[in-house]
Amino acid sequence: MSNTFVCLMGMGTVFIGLICIVFICSFISFVIRLFTKKAPIAPAKATNTANAAALHIQDKQAIIAGTCAVIAEELGTDVSNIRVLSFKRI
């Protein structure tokens, strides 16, 4: 057998195998979507801002502390050198 034939057979086998993997993944994805139940998406409700603010205040300090720790680690400085002026949700 020539080298060209061996190379073409090898590449053909690889591409056929890759195409089979794509079809198998697509089929499994289709089967999984058939058996999973979709939860109904409720429309966005107007929430009481006082309750929402009360729930998020407890976590906000921990989030700010964690964010400052990460920034200080990346900058190679101490957390006490970081001053948070504003922390807004985007």
User: How confident is the model over 56-89, as pLDDT tens digits?
Assistant: 566 788 888 888 888 889 988 888 888 888 877 6
- For 73, the token pair is 């680690």
52: pLDDT strictly greater than 80: no
Which residues neighbour 60 within 8 Å (Cβ) at sequence distance 6 or greater?
87
In the prediction, which pLDDT does 60 show?
80
- What is the C-alpha to C-alpha distance for residues 31 and 79, in angstroms, rounded to an integer? 50
pTM of the predicted model as reported, rounded to 2 decimal places = 0.40
Query: Domain spans of the chain?
Result: 1-41, 51-90
